[in-house]
Chain A
Amino acid sequence: METILQILFNSLEKGSIYALAALGIILIIRTSFTVNFAFGRIGMFTAFITVYFMNHILSSIWLGAVVGIISAIVIGLIVDMVVLRHAHKVDIIGKQIVTLGLIIIISGITPLLFGINPFHLPKFINYVGQSDSLTIMNASIEYNGLFTVGIGLIFMVCLFFFIQKTKWGLAVRATASNEPTARLMGVPTKIVTMSAWAIAGAFGALAAIMIAPSVNVKPDMMDSIQVIALIACVLGGFQTFYGPVIGAYLIAFSRNVFTYYISSVWGESLMYVLILLFIVFRPQGLIGKKIVKKV
């Protein structure tokens, strides 16, 4: 009971980070029709910005994070306006290579601006009263972890409220379901795509800042998170925005279960194999209907 609760706490914390990343990726897939492979690198870059501002100018992790998120939004907007908007002649695979180009550019800029040494980013919350973690039935979760879970939930709930209940959310859904038709019906798809890149950038920055205390700020800090987020998208299915989120929490949980109960060496790989098998038998993912092909 104790261990399973501990695993659950740990999975909630990691899952929130994966879920933010998965949302950032699915938003762009659905509105821009590109898998943004540079997602993790943009997040990494903004984590560096956060560290820089925290160390040299603002001396507060909170303000640093705000600057980091704003810079991520700006980067997202630039990428959409400068590059992808002009890529309408490029086919889907070409667009993904564009994001590879972004990976290379960002990986080149980072050491130029911030040097080659990894940085440490502190937690948002270290102590509440005397202790640094909350203990329930012998299982503990750090207050910072709780904060991560909370922030993740707040941002996701806001996004889903926005998508489901507002006029702009309807525009997003219309673009996601059929971009050309939406455009013909007067939906400002350009603005939708642009804001998707901005929001995705912000989510990437959040995910990077939250994972940073445990992995340090370094160029490949987001690589495995990005892969997990991509797999979460496939597991949850591309048809909804909440599918990938469910997929992300599920992966976080089963990853812990597999590495704890089965094997710390093989566990994670085994989990991926099982997910692949699942997708083969249910290609549309957990959430989503099968689409009948018309002949």
Chain B
Amino acid sequence: MGKKINKQYQMKENTVLEIEDLSIAFGGLKAVDNLSFDIKEKEIFGLIGPNGAGKTTVFNCITQFYPPDTGTILMKNKNNEVVNLIGQKVHNVIRQGIVRTFQNVELIYELSVIDNLLVGCHIYYKTDIFSQILRLPRANKEERKFRKKAVDILKFVGIEKYKDALVGGLPYGVLKKVELARTLMSDPKLIILDEPAAGLNEQETENLSQLIKDIRDKLNCTIFLVEHDMRLVMGTCDRVCAISFGKLLAIGKAKEIQNNTLVQEAYLGKEDDMNE
């Protein structure tokens, strides 16, 4: 039934994600307030804002962890059908082609790097639990196929040498890359990165910036990121959206946003405030 309704939605050409009038309140507090923006195909789109502006909440609404109070979130999925993400099961969102990373790296510390990547293509495993448990040849074949894919992605991200290392003992910068590599396992259309540069040093941030661009260019992904680190945002993003207290401040090219007075006020406070 859900699908029939979805068919009626229309999206602009060249857009992947369209968010309209998104609102969500926790108790009396409006975390996101009538927010609208869209993300174009093969774009690197940044979402910035001061602490507590509701950035991560926007992510959580898109990925359906929090059901929003009002609004629509339209997405052109892998088959180029327009779907409304609202009301989808959380674990089905990835099937539409959206995959995310987390603010605090969420990897499985008991598993090796490559096994962590295999979790990323969980949805592509076709064999049933019985062939898995009995290790039938088709389950083995499938496993080998995905392992090969994982190795390719590790090569692409540049961390192949850690392939069999346990995630538990690796440095933070590598963990961030493992998480990014895991998103690639699901052949995503839209990758959502929650503060990818947090905890990285300058060199690592620069590498990451290049890697994000590579992913966009070579793997045809659209990237949507929340970030505090302005160097990364300014150096990587095509367009940036600034929000404060859940409300939209401005959308535009990175440079424009940087010079926008509203945005500066949100970050630094109004001049009146300072004088008081």
Contacts and interface: CB of A to CB of B under 8 A. Distances in A.
A and B touch in the complex (CB under 8 A): yes
Interface of A: 292, 295
B65 interface: yes
A295 B26 contact: no
B258 interface: no
Nearest to A292: B26
B56 interface: yes
B262 to A, nearest CB: 28
Nearest to B100: A295
A292 B66 CA distance: 10
Contacts of B56: 295
B36 interface: no
Nearest to A293: B65
B205 interface: no
B60 interface: yes
6 contacts: A292-B26, A295-B56, A295-B60, A295-B65, A295-B66, A295-B102
A292 B56 CA distance: 15
Interface in B64-78: 65-66
A129 B197 CA distance: 82
B31 to A, nearest CB: 12
A292 B27 CA distance: 11
Nearest to B60: A295
A229 B65 CA distance: 36
Contacts of B26: 292
A279 B66 CA distance: 23
A121 to B, nearest CB: 51
Contacts of B66: 295
Interface string B63-96: 0011000000000000000000000000000000
Contacts of A295: 56, 60, 65-66, 102
Contacts of A292: 26
A236 B170 CA distance: 44
Contacts of B102: 295
A295 B60 CA distance: 8
- Sorted nearest first, the 6 A-B pairs with minimum C-beta distance are A295-B65, A295-B60, A295-B56, A292-B26, A295-B66, A295-B102
Nearest to B102: A295
A229 B66 CA distance: 36
A93 to B, nearest CB: 16
Nearest to B26: A292
A295 B66 CA distance: 9
A292 B24 CA distance: 14
A291 to B, nearest CB: 13
A295 B55 CA distance: 12
B55 to A, nearest CB: 12
A295 B56 CA distance: 9
Interface in B257-274: none
Contacts of B65: 295
Nearest to B194: A295
A269 to B, nearest CB: 32
B53 to A, nearest CB: 16
Interface string B35-76: 000000000000000000000100010000110000000000
B162 to A, nearest CB: 27
B68 to A, nearest CB: 14
A292 B102 CA distance: 18
A295 B58 CA distance: 12
A103 B56 CA distance: 48
A292 B25 CA distance: 13
Interface string B14-36: 00000000000010000000000
A295 B26 CA distance: 14
Interface in B86-141: 102
B251 to A, nearest CB: 25
B98 to A, nearest CB: 15
B165 to A, nearest CB: 24
